[in-house]
Structure 1
Amino acid sequence: MGKVSDLYRQRVAEGRIRPDAAQQSVLPHLDRVLDDIAAAPAPEKRSAWRAFLGVGSPPPAPAARGLYLWGGVGRGKSMLMDLMAEAATVPVRRVHFHEFMQEIQAGLNRARLRGDRDTVRPVAMEVAAKVRLLCFDEMQITDIADAMIVGRLFQVLLEQGVVIVTTSNRVPEDLYKHGLNRQLFLPFIDLIRQRLEVVCLDSQVDHRQGRTAGGQVWFCPADAAAKAAMDGIWDELTGGEGAPRRIEVGGRGFDLPLFAEGVGRAGFWDLCGKPLGPADYLALSRAVQVLMIDAIPRLSASNYNEAKRFVTLIDALYEAKVRLIASGADEPEQLYNEGEGSFEFERTASRLREMQDADWGQQAD
């Protein structure tokens, strides 16, 4: 089994990451997880149905203790998760927590159609049959459907010898805070404390802010030069990687065209040309830490509905302290100069200007 600390030192020597004392302080915890996996006997896998019926060998011993790494945005948690997945020599999956839960919910629906009485166990067993180490990035529980099954899901995975490592912006006790029927979720927090080592990445440096702070984050006009600049920032923040992400809202959802490493990217019409509302934009603001919006047009009576949605979107991003990088037809104050809604847009223009400040949003949790 490799060591995360060795890969970290290698990346520093190559100039691919900047050394950070807080990151270095958590490397032993990541190494400990891989050492524990290497020292533990590999669990004997049974098929989901044989395990469900209790047929075959007894269930494996509980998994080695995992890790819950939490801290503010831009502290390098996702990067450390990447290094852990790379260093592991056992079957590993590194996945965004939201994406994983979507897969689980789809599996539960299939189990219900089969008529399974216990829908969670066979789905969890299918996962356990494929991996020994599950690396979740950005654990956050905002959906009641996820909140009601995640405890049972983790319990079965851990029973089957799967080691779980996850990152989050929140301490475990703040997960699903103020959520509906939260008392039913509290045992999951206890499970995290019992089975995962909880470690805070307490860095004073926001590496993601450092890439944009002091640099240009609003580009106009929205021409080829602006697109090239936006593409360059995207490459810097994500390494050029990215894939569509489904933003779920109350049993429905919409697609964000590109998402990677907490950074989302979409065109104006992707977000404002569709019948989306406050709940959609609030869900989006919870899903991303940085949002890039391409080609914001001039706003007027001719695109009044789209302009109203844009105002609602900016309000949601502003309240959530999401970092905004955008290209537009003009400066914020000149986007909406006449027609119904132009007076009200002055507040949005002011927020867009404030969101360009180098230190804006650094107080986000």
Structure 2
Amino acid sequence: MDTIETTGRIPSDDASEQDVLAAVVAAARDAGFTLEPEQLEVVRRLAALPIGGDEPAHLYLWGAAGRGKTWLLDAFFAALPTPRRGRVHFHSFFRGLHASIHRLRTEAADAARATGEPGAGSRAAAGAVVNAVEQAVDELLDDVDVVLFDEFHVHDPGDGMLMIRLLEALFARQVTLLTSSNFRPQDLLPDPVYHHLFEPGIAMIEANMTVVELGGSADHRRTSPIRRRDGFARGSWSVAGEAADAHLATLGLHRPRPDEATTLAISGHTFRAAAAGDGTVWFTAAELLERPTSVGDYLAWTADYDRWVLDALPASHELTREARARFVHLVDALCDLGVELHVVAATDRETFITAPGLGRGGFARDAVRTRSRLALLREIG
């Protein structure tokens, strides 16, 4: 494998590729680290992709958590000479897609029922799903040559069916698709009960995309001496007690009084927060995780609150299966959106993330990603 020359340039047959490669290498240097051979090979593969041509190429980048997938794709994105590019997070995109489907279904069904034709409402509602996917793709690909779909994963069979429609529409356009994922294509929708439902989607990915694994043995989120304290990483993990309360107080976060409790209404449901206001929301784990909250709820609340406190988090083995899944999704959503999270738990972070409870119930691969992301939080005490 070629190595970086002293100028920071990597051998390439194309000047534009060379510029992109050099820009990514420089970005790594400015961030205080040197790209590993496996990362350099990925950058080389990315730089060679034809962008904006008549026959676009697509790349599916996967690997274990913390190997630098998102950083590499972000740096590559920033180095591209074209401004015609779009980036989307999985959770945010599907929240918008579900909202569009609900709206279009309702509008189509109401209009069809007005005709008085038997069964017209149901048929129109079904057709609204197709329309919503097409509309979402139109919005996603409006005036872009390349689109990045970050943190690609499929756990829900319903989302899997929508993703198949989405992939069909994406591959029909002259747009380069890039994705990052912790999962090999064959491991998407891992639940054996539902896995067969997404096999057509897996086949499309393998037929249309170059699948590249980013190897390496180090989880850079956990081992890097350089930690940028911004976004999600501004948060903290502390064990419940006086030290935790004192730490939060230094951040202007004081344990809520009983009269500060409030109700948050969303999607026809209500949830109780210990406190909410001035951009900060404080939840107990019992309310946020053990009750039927969803990723859509978390994303909606981040529009109003960019600082979260998750209080009274028990040991991972004491959480129900559903609560463990919600915790994983919560960390994903807040980390992806750069929302500050402060956790007050019954155990220290290492005990919580290494205990077998977090990975039980079919969430082993997700637990690895969650452990990596929680390592971004500063541990107190």
Shorter-chain TM range is 0.5 to 0.7
Q: Which amino acid aligns with 1:93?
A: G
Distance across 2 between alignment mates of 1:68 and 1:295: 33
Aligned: 1:296 with 2:360: no
- With 219-228 and 93-102 compared, the bigger mean Cα shift is at 219-228
Distance across 1 between alignment mates of 2:142 and 2:150: 21
Counterpart in the other structure of 1:17:
33
Q: Deviations over 1:197-247 (max 9, x none)?
A: 00000112221111379xx97577125557779xxxxxxxxxxxxx99x99
Counterpart in the other structure of 1:183:
196
Counterpart in the other structure of 2:298:
255
Distance across 2 between alignment mates of 1:29 and 1:82: 15
Residue 37 of structure 1 aligns to a residue whose secondary structure is coil
- Equivalent positions of 1:183-222 (< 5 A) are 183-211=196-224, 221-222=243-244
Distance across 2 between alignment mates of 1:104 and 1:30: 28
Go from structure 1 to structure 2 and tell me whether the alpha carbon gap of 1:9 and 1:298 turns closer, same or farther (over 3 Å shift): closer
Q: Deviations over 1:287-342 (max 9, x none)?
A: 6479886362789xxxxxxxxxxx99x875465243344667xx7xxxxxxxxxxx
Q: Does the 8 A contact of 1:222 with 1:327 survive in 2?
A: no
Residue 191 of structure 2 aligns to a residue whose secondary structure is coil
Go from structure 1 to structure 2 and tell me whether the alpha carbon gap of 1:75 and 1:298 turns closer, same or farther (over 3 Å shift): closer
Segments of 5+ residues of structure 1 without an aligned counterpart are: 42-62, 230-242, 300-310, 332-365
Q: Which amino acid aligns with 2:30?
A: E
Q: Does the 8 A contact of 2:85 with 2:145 survive in 1?
A: yes
Q: Does the 8 A contact of 1:98 with 1:139 survive in 2?
A: no
Counterpart in the other structure of 1:72:
64
1:109 to 95, 102, 125: 102
Distance across 2 between alignment mates of 1:87 and 1:68: 19
Q: Deviations over 1:101-129 (max 9, x none)?
A: 22222222233234262333333233333
Residue 106 of structure 2 aligns to a residue whose secondary structure is helix
- Equivalent positions of 1:270-349 (< 5 A) are 278-285=321-328, 288=331, 294=342, 296=344, 316-317=357-358, 319=360, 320-321=367-368, 322-323=370-371, 324=374, 325=377
Distance across 2 between alignment mates of 1:298 and 1:198: 41
Q: Which amino acid aligns with 1:152?
A: R
- Equivalent positions of 1:65-104 (< 5 A) are 65-88=57-80, 89-104=82-97
Residue 28 of structure 1 aligns to a residue whose secondary structure is helix
Q: Which amino acid aligns with 2:44?
A: P
Distance across 2 between alignment mates of 1:151 and 1:318: 27
TM-score by length of 2: 0.59
CA RMSD of aligned residues (A): 4.3
Go from structure 1 to structure 2 and tell me whether the alpha carbon gap of 1:298 and 1:172 turns closer, same or farther (over 3 Å shift): closer
Go from structure 1 to structure 2 and tell me whether the alpha carbon gap of 1:295 and 1:97 turns closer, same or farther (over 3 Å shift): closer
Residue 123 of structure 1 aligns to a residue whose secondary structure is helix
Q: Percent identity between the aligned chains?
A: 26
Q: Does the 8 A contact of 2:244 with 2:344 survive in 1?
A: yes
Distance across 2 between alignment mates of 1:90 and 1:183: 39
Instruction: Report how many residues are paired.
Output: 272
Q: Deviations over 1:4-25 (max 9, x none)?
A: 4222221233343332121011
Q: Deviations over 1:22-47 (max 9, x none)?
A: 101111111122xx114x14xxxxxx
- Equivalent positions of 1:18-33 (< 5 A) are 18-33=34-49
Q: Does the 8 A contact of 1:142 with 1:179 survive in 2?
A: no
- With 74-83 and 289-298 compared, the bigger mean Cα shift is at 289-298
Counterpart in the other structure of 1:37:
51
Go from structure 1 to structure 2 and tell me whether the alpha carbon gap of 1:145 and 1:266 turns closer, same or farther (over 3 Å shift): same
